[in-house]
Chain A
Amino acid sequence: MANRTGAVAVDGSAAPPQPGSARPVLRVEGVSKSFGRLKAVDRCFLEVGQGEIVGLIGPNGAGKTTLFNIVSGFERPDEGRVWLRGQDITPLKPYQRSRLGLGRTFQITRLFPRMTVWENLLVAAPDSARAPRRAAQLLELVGLAAKRDEYARHLSYGQQKLLELARILMRDPVLVLLDEPAAGIHPNLLQQVLALVRRLREEQGTSFLVVEHNMDVVMGHCDRVVVMSAGQVIAQGPPAQVQQDERVLEAYFGRPQPGRGLWAEPAADQAGQRAGEGAGA
C-alpha cells in the first residue's frame, strides 16, 4: 500500500490525502462508535482506491454494519473522520453524501414496494432531464427492461436487489457500498450482479466496498479484503493472504482452551489433571 501522510486538514478546504491517482475515493480515519458500553467500532482506518473492489468481512458483531452506517451517514461517529474524494463528509447527512456520489444498498432491500420498477428508478433523480434515458439504459443493463411496469413488490428478491443497485446507479456514484449482495439470491442473479460490478469498475472506474458473508464472492471478486473483529481492523490484504492469516482464522474460529471441554485432548503436552475425563463419562 502507498504510504500516506498522517496530516489531517480540519477545515476541510484542503484535501488532506495525497493528490493524484493515489488519492483514495474513500478514506475512513480513526473512526470510533460506542453504543452504551459496547465499542462497536474502535479506531478504524480504511481506504478504497478508485476502481477498487474492497471486501469488508468479520465475524458477527465485528462492527461491519456500524462502519457501513458511519460511511453512508446513518450513524455519526464518536470520533474520527470520513473522506470522500478528499472532502470531509463526516458531518453530512445520507442524502448529501448521495449527491456527492456515494450510494449504498441494504441487506433487506429498501424499494418502494407499491411503485413500479420504472418509478423506483426515477425517484432517484426526479429533476433530471436525462433521467428517463438513463433509467432505460440501466434497466437494460440489469436485465429488468421487461419488468418496467411491474410493481417492485412483485419482483423476486434477487430482482429487487438488481433494481436497488440500478437505482443507485441513476446518480452515477463514485463509490457504492454493497451490504450482503449475495444473501438470499439465486446463483444466476448473483453472477449477474457480480458481472455488473466488474463492468462498472472497468467502464466507469466505480469503486465498491462490499460487506459479504459468502467467502467465494469475497475471495473471488475483491481486489483487497479488510477484516474486522471486535470493532477493530485486524488484517487487510489480497484475498489469498487474508485466507491464510492466523489472526483472521482465530477471529472466525475461536481458540481452543487447553485442557478444557467435554472430552479431554489426550495430547502429551496437555496430559494432566483432566485427562481422565472422557466423552460419554
Chain B
Amino acid sequence: MTGSPADAPLLEVEGLVSGYGLQQVLHGVHLRVGAGEVVAIIGPNGSGKSTVLKAIMGFLRAWQGSVRLSGQELGRLAPHRRVEKGIAYVPQGRTVFPDMTVEEHLDLGAWTVRDPRARREARERVLSLFGRLAERLNQKAGTMSGGEQQMLSLARALMVWPRLLLLDEPTLGLAPMMVEAIFETIVAIHRSGVSVLMVEQNAAQALQYSHRAYVLEMGRNRFEGPSPALLRDPQVRYAYLGGKGPAPTAG
C-alpha cells in the first residue's frame, strides 16, 4: 500500500481489469475522485463505464488492479461493507420497488446505519434536498413518474450519507426537463459535501455538470481532464464515432 491516508485521494482506481464471466471488459482503467469533486465517466456504448462502477462497488471482482478509498485498498470487500465505508451506489434504471412507499424506501436505504441519531440526521438532510419527496412520504413508488422514481433512488442511496456517491446513468430515459432537474440535484448533493462519480451517456451535459471527466473507449482510458476543456475539444466528440474528425485547420 502506498501513500498515507491523509494525502490520498478519496477514490483512486489503478490498472483496473474486470469483466463478466469470460468476457473481459476493462483493460486497465485508472481514475481518481478528490474530496468535494464531481467527476464524470463518459464514452461510447460498451466502453466499460458501468463496469467500472460495478467493480468499484464490489459487484464485480477486480481481476487485476486496485481500488482504494482514502488510501485503503478495498480488495474483495463485499458491496455492503463498501457502503459502510462510505460509498453509495445508484444503479442504472429506476430500481425502486413499485409497491413500497417513499418512506419505506428511505428506511431501506438507511438499513446499514445503526446509530439512530445518524439516521435522523441523514433523513433530514435528504428530505431537505428532495422537497418533493418530503410531501409524498406515503406515496407508492410505482405511482410516481420516471423522474420522481430516479429522485427516490438518489434519496435512498443518500440515506447512508456517503462520502462518495456513484451514479450509473442517472438521466437515462428521462424527458429533457427531468434530465435537467436530476443534474441540478446532483449539484445540490455536491454542495452538501458529497463527492460524486457519475457515468453518463449524455456526455455534453455530464461535462457541463462535472469538474473533471474521463473518456473511456473499449475498456481503456482515452481522454481525461477538466470538463470545460473536454467539452470544447472536438476530438472527444469524434471519438464517439471512432473518427479523428476533420483535419485541424491552422491556428
Give residues in A with beta carbon < 8 Å to B.
59-61, 156-157, 180, 183-184, 213-216, 218-219, 240, 242-244, 248-249, 252-257, 260-263, 265, 279-280
Given the complex, which residues of B lie within 8 Å of A157, measured CB to CB? 21-23
A240: nearest residue on chain B (CB-CB)?
B243
Given the complex, which residues of B lie within 8 Å of A253, measured CB to CB? 203-204, 236-237, 240
Assuming the contacts A184-B24, A219-B243, A249-B238, asked whether A59 and B208 have C-beta atoms less than 8 A apart, the reply is: no
Taking A215-B242, A216-B242, A254-B206 as known contacts, 19 extra A-B pairs with beta carbons closer than 8 A to each other, sorted by chain A number, are A60-B172, A157-B21, A180-B46, A183-B23, A184-B22, A184-B23, A213-B46, A214-B242, A218-B242, A244-B246, A248-B241, A253-B236, A256-B207, A260-B208, A260-B209, A261-B205, A262-B187, A262-B208, A262-B210
Chain A CB within 10 A, most for which of B19, B21, B203: B203
A215 to B242, CA, bound (A): 5
Given the complex, which residues of B lie within 8 Å of A244, measured CB to CB? 243, 245-246
* Residues A257 and B180 in contact, CB atoms below 8 Å apart: yes
The count of chain B contact residues (Cβ–Cβ below 8 Å) is: 42
* Residues B209 and A261 in contact, CB atoms below 8 Å apart: yes
Given the complex, which residues of B lie within 8 Å of A216, measured CB to CB? 242
* Residues B243 and A243 in contact, CB atoms below 8 Å apart: yes
B134 within 8 A of A: no
Given the complex, which residues of B lie within 8 Å of A257, measured CB to CB? 180, 205, 208
A242 to B187, CA, bound (A): 35
B228 within 8 A of A: yes
* Residues B180 and A213 in contact, CB atoms below 8 Å apart: no
* Residues B204 and A255 in contact, CB atoms below 8 Å apart: yes
Give residues in B with beta carbon < 8 Å to A.
19-25, 36, 38, 44-46, 172-173, 180, 183, 187, 190, 201-211, 218, 227-228, 231, 236-238, 240-243, 245-246
Instruction: Sample 29 A-B pairs with CB under 8 A, ordered by A number.
Output: A60-B201, A156-B22, A157-B21, A184-B19, A184-B20, A184-B24, A213-B44, A213-B45, A213-B46, A214-B218, A214-B242, A215-B241, A240-B243, A243-B243, A244-B243, A249-B237, A249-B240, A253-B203, A253-B204, A254-B205, A256-B204, A256-B205, A257-B180, A260-B183, A261-B183, A262-B187, A263-B227, A280-B36, A280-B211
A280 to B211, CA, bound (A): 8
Instruction: Out of A59, A60, A260, A265, name the residue touching B228 (CB < 8 Å).
Output: A265
* Residues A249 and B23 in contact, CB atoms below 8 Å apart: no
Given the complex, which residues of A lie within 8 Å of B228, measured CB to CB? 263, 265
A244 to B240, CA, bound (A): 11
Which A-B residue pairs are the 5 nearest by beta carbons?
A215-B242, A261-B208, A184-B23, A254-B204, A213-B46
* Residues B173 and A61 in contact, CB atoms below 8 Å apart: yes
Assuming the contacts A215-B241, A253-B237, A262-B38, asked whether A183 and B46 have C-beta atoms less than 8 A apart, the reply is: yes
Given the complex, which residues of A lie within 8 Å of B46, measured CB to CB? 180, 183, 213-214
B40: nearest residue on chain A (CB-CB)?
A262
